Amino acid sequence: MSRRKGFSLVELLIVLAVIAALIATITPVAMNAIKKAKATQVAQNLKTLASALENAAYVNGADASGIKKPDGGYFTATDDIKLLARDVDKDLYGIWYAEVDDGKFKVSVFTKEAVDFTTSQGVLKDLTKTTPSTYLATNTPTKLGLNSDTSFSFGYNFEFIVY
């Protein structure tokens, strides 16, 4: 009996079964990596915004009217978040800050992106689920980016002093 060139149907089915098994094994790993990458990106964006606002206060100055921009005005408009971090979406992130004492500022940087809190907390240890309105309850904050914390996911609250 002579055999024809090529693969038999059984051989092709075995190869397809092996490929399907590999895909089924790799897909959850890839999805988990994507989930972790997104959570890490969100934590990094929060830290970037926090550092940028604090640096702006130190470099440009701050007073009872707020934190100054490089042009001498104050951070007040919703678009001003782009001056701090150009690749951060103002519709997904917010910064609320208030001067609580002479030169002492309380800041809440938050997001409404729905990512894994625990994974993000691995990148930025001080993340919290305390809403900005709760954190700044006794103060009237200046709001950059998100004007409401109703769809709040989590945030990063901190204080600093400008001498």
Nearest-angstrom CA–CA distance, 75 and 68: 6
pTM for the complete prediction? Answer: 0.82
Other C-beta atoms within 10 Å of 22: how many? 10
- Give the start-to-end residue ranges of the domains of the chain: 9-161
pLDDT single digits (tens) 22-54? 999 999 989 889 999 999 999 999 999 999 999
- The whole-number pLDDT of residue 90 equals 85
Radius of gyration of the chain (CA): 24
Nearest-angstrom CA–CA distance, 98 and 159: 10
pLDDT single digits (tens) 61-113? 998 888 998 888 898 876 678 889 888 888 899 999 999 988 999 999 999 99
Nearest-angstrom CA–CA distance, 97 and 152: 16
pLDDT single digits (tens) 144-155? 989 889 889 999
Q: What are phi and psi of 11, to 5 degrees?
A: -65, -40
AA letter at 157: N
Residue with tokens 């002579």: 2
